[in-house]
Structure 1
């Protein structure tokens, strides 16, 4: 991709993160801590439904896109089976009345179950339509589809505040669902040519079987990955209370600023690598890209450790623990992004069972860690468990990729990430008592990053200089 195309894809994650950082403090001031925690359970459920009902065919769509003769037919094969299954499950859940809302929110209301069902269907459709924009490298349309729902959520919450609407769970769920449904409509409009053409195609059962053969092993891996990212919230929901879950979910949301790197990179990286693999060229750049991302990951950990206190300026006093939890929470987006640069061998070799195994093992680590640490440390224990688990996930993906593909230099990868994870754990559990020590630690990490990656930083500065010079 050209720098212009990458910039187009970056608009959505960056703008969405900014809007989220604006709306999040507003939500914490005007809605109860318990309801903020309940929204975390909604997000967990949406992620679970997409991973389960996609049947791994979303990954098959990405993998087969550049080799498919008919892109609309490929979309139909990938999207329709899971959509039919999801529709059947949603109807069954709605027949149970308010059970779904009771399971998620502790409030067994039928109208809340209906709203959640709408969010489930809209999220699933949006997942596949977003892949159409992503794989066709329509960066600006992809970004606007991400940006507009965040803006709509902010407008709705602002409207609640302006008119003095009830700051209750129903209105908060409706605000989130309206934003999700809106993005689905935007995706539908932007991809109308593709899905309208897909209606006129027939499903080739032989090709569908091949896609399922690649995708089905990813179901278990996908569920394990969902568990890796959601176990903390589920355990907090069952072992503590919605208040503790609310504090944790706010820390995760602030850590979502680091997901800008994850979103932009993942959006650009997967299509680019598979295009290189299909052409048989460009794969020598994988190690170089890995070094750049590692530098950004170290920088992200260090800045979070040094500046996490800033978030307390925008939150109510009962969210003071967010500043200590935040540093461990950013491990998910940062280490996941780094693992995307080292895991390419699994995708190229089509040995998706190894990706599944990495997720299952890391999920098991997180399961044990949450069971052990949450009763002792609450939200801090959940953050630490997830942080360590994602390092295990990154390590396994890297080693499996090397086993299936070819070696890559990884001393710096493991040394720096282990230091950052260890620092994050100490910061989360004892940072309030060791503030001076932790500030010194993160400054040392920052300086070490500058020394180890000075060539990369200088190259970025020269690149920016050339771009500025060419425009002037």
Structure 2
């Protein structure tokens, strides 16, 4: 993939993170805290349904794409079984009236159930159609399809404000569903040649069985990672309240700024590291990149701890707790990105079961953490549990990679990340009472960072100067 193609694919994740950072805080000014929490439950449900109903065939599609002679037929085999299963499930749920909306929102309204069903179908279709764009390396079309729905969501909310529409749950879900359906239509138009040709092909049952044998086992690992990233919201819905879930969702949206690093790095890293490994130069370069990413991770935690109060200027007063929670929320994107630099041994050795084991173990930690902390600390407990779980995830991926591939220096990795995570935990749970002490803590961390990573800082500054000159 050329740098131009990488840039085209990166526009979507980066722009999506930026727009997500803007959109949810705007929503908090016009919709109730409970409805913001209910919207988070919709997002959790969309992610879970795509993972479950795809049957792992989305992964099979990616695996078989370059070897398949009839790519439209491959798309049909991958998309059709899960789509039929999803439609049947939704018809059964809709026949129960407003049960679906009742389970998600505590509002058993049939029209809300219909909107949720439309969003589920559109999200499922978008998942597979987006893969067509990705595998054909149509990066700009892929990115635009990610950006447009978020822009539409903001436009609809703006329209509500302009015409004085009711700021209720129905209009909020309607705006979200309209945006999701819109992206599905865009994906459908951009891939029309592929899926129209696929409709006319015959379904090869034997090849479908082969794809299912590859894809179905992957669901377990996918469910574990989904649980690692989403179970906190489910526990908040069950053990706390929609208000706490709303606060937590807003904190996560601000923390999504750190996901820009994750998105850009993940786009470039995988093809690069395997190229290094094939040339026999992987280990030294991996160590160097890992150290740079560690520097960014520690810097991210320290700056978030020192500057989190800034978010209060963009939110209503009832979201004041976000300034404490957001520091733990950045643990997911930052620690996940760091683990991508240390996990390469699992990919090179082709022992993906170890990645699944790391995800399942961290998921178990998150389950216990949420069960223990949320009843006492609410949204703050959920943030802490997820942050600690991702440190466990990072630790296990690193150790498994070393076991399967080559040793790597990790004292600095573990020491700095533990210091950062410990600080985030204390800051989130007791930061309001320890304000001055926490400022001192993060300043000490920042000072230690400047001393330990001075070589990397000098190298980066020199590189920038050469580029500017």
So what's the TM-score if we normalise by structure 1? 0.91
Preserved contact between residue 56 and residue 219 of structure 1 (Cα < 8 Å): yes
Match of 1:315? 315
Structure 2 gaps of 5+ residues are none
1:70 Cα deviation (Å)?
A: 5.2
CA distance in structure 2 between the partners assigned to 1:131 and 1:272 by the alignment: 21
CA distance in structure 2 between the partners assigned to 1:6 and 1:270 by the alignment: 12
Preserved contact between residue 14 and residue 263 of structure 2 (Cα < 8 Å): no
Aligned CA distance change for structure 1 residues 398 and 213 (closer, same or farther; 3 Å): farther
Match of 1:44? 44
Match of 1:168? 168
Match of 2:427? 427
Q: Which range moved further: 196-205 or 119-128?
A: 196-205
1:337 Cα deviation (Å)?
A: 2.0
1:2 Cα deviation (Å)?
A: 4.2
Deviations 1:309-344 (A, max 9, x none): 011011111111000000001111111222223333
1:52 Cα deviation (Å)?
A: 1.1
Aligned CA distance change for structure 1 residues 454 and 75 (closer, same or farther; 3 Å): farther
Match of 2:112? 112
1:199 Cα deviation (Å)?
A: 4.0
What SS is found at the alignment partner of 1:55?
A: coil
Aligned CA distance change for structure 1 residues 136 and 170 (closer, same or farther; 3 Å): same
Aligned CA distance change for structure 1 residues 357 and 286 (closer, same or farther; 3 Å): same
Deviations 1:178-221 (A, max 9, x none): 11111122222233344344445555555544543443222122
Aligned residues: 468
Residue correspondence of structure 1 range 343-358 to structure 2 within 5 A: 343-358=343-358
CA distance in structure 2 between the partners assigned to 1:349 and 1:220 by the alignment: 20
Aligned CA RMSD, in angstroms, stands at 2.5
> Are 1:234 and 2:234 counterparts?
yes
Aligned CA distance change for structure 1 residues 400 and 206 (closer, same or farther; 3 Å): farther
Q: Which range moved further: 225-234 or 61-70?
A: 61-70
Deviations 1:351-370 (A, max 9, x none): 33322222221111111111
Preserved contact between residue 63 and residue 274 of structure 1 (Cα < 8 Å): no
Preserved contact between residue 252 and residue 326 of structure 1 (Cα < 8 Å): yes
Deviations 1:245-295 (A, max 9, x none): 111111111111112122233344445556777x77774544443333222
Deviations 1:45-83 (A, max 9, x none): 011111112222333444454555555444444333322
CA distance in structure 2 between the partners assigned to 1:202 and 1:28 by the alignment: 49
What SS is found at the alignment partner of 1:443?
A: helix
Preserved contact between residue 119 and residue 180 of structure 1 (Cα < 8 Å): yes
Aligned CA distance change for structure 1 residues 337 and 73 (closer, same or farther; 3 Å): farther
Match of 1:374? 374
CA distance in structure 2 between the partners assigned to 1:449 and 1:207 by the alignment: 54
What SS is found at the alignment partner of 1:146?
A: helix
What SS is found at the alignment partner of 2:433?
A: coil
CA distance in structure 1 between the partners assigned to 2:215 and 2:26 by the alignment: 40
Preserved contact between residue 217 and residue 352 of structure 1 (Cα < 8 Å): no
CA distance in structure 2 between the partners assigned to 1:113 and 1:397 by the alignment: 40
> Are 1:179 and 2:179 counterparts?
yes
Match of 1:29? 29
Deviations 1:388-420 (A, max 9, x none): 111111212222233333333322222221111
Aligned CA distance change for structure 1 residues 288 and 53 (closer, same or farther; 3 Å): farther
Match of 1:364? 364
Match of 1:221? 221
Match of 2:122? 122
Match of 1:147? 147
Aligned CA distance change for structure 1 residues 136 and 105 (closer, same or farther; 3 Å): same
Deviations 1:10-59 (A, max 9, x none): 32233223322332222111101110110111011011111112222333
Preserved contact between residue 6 and residue 267 of structure 2 (Cα < 8 Å): no
Structure 1 gaps of 5+ residues are none
Match of 2:262? 262
Deviations 1:109-151 (A, max 9, x none): 1111111011111112222222333344433222211111111
Match of 1:138? 138
> Are 1:159 and 2:170 counterparts?
no
1:241 Cα deviation (Å)?
A: 1.3
What SS is found at the alignment partner of 1:30?
A: coil
What SS is found at the alignment partner of 2:432?
A: coil
CA distance in structure 2 between the partners assigned to 1:268 and 1:443 by the alignment: 32
> Are 1:325 and 2:325 counterparts?
yes
Aligned CA distance change for structure 1 residues 127 and 320 (closer, same or farther; 3 Å): same
Aligned CA distance change for structure 1 residues 379 and 68 (closer, same or farther; 3 Å): same
Aligned CA distance change for structure 1 residues 274 and 53 (closer, same or farther; 3 Å): farther
Q: Which range moved further: 102-111 or 433-442?
A: 433-442
So what's the TM-score if we normalise by structure 2? 0.91
1:305 Cα deviation (Å)?
A: 0.9
Q: Which range moved further: 110-119 or 76-85?
A: 76-85
Aligned CA distance change for structure 1 residues 107 and 390 (closer, same or farther; 3 Å): same
Match of 1:405? 405
Q: Which range moved further: 390-399 or 321-330?
A: 390-399
What SS is found at the alignment partner of 2:408?
A: coil
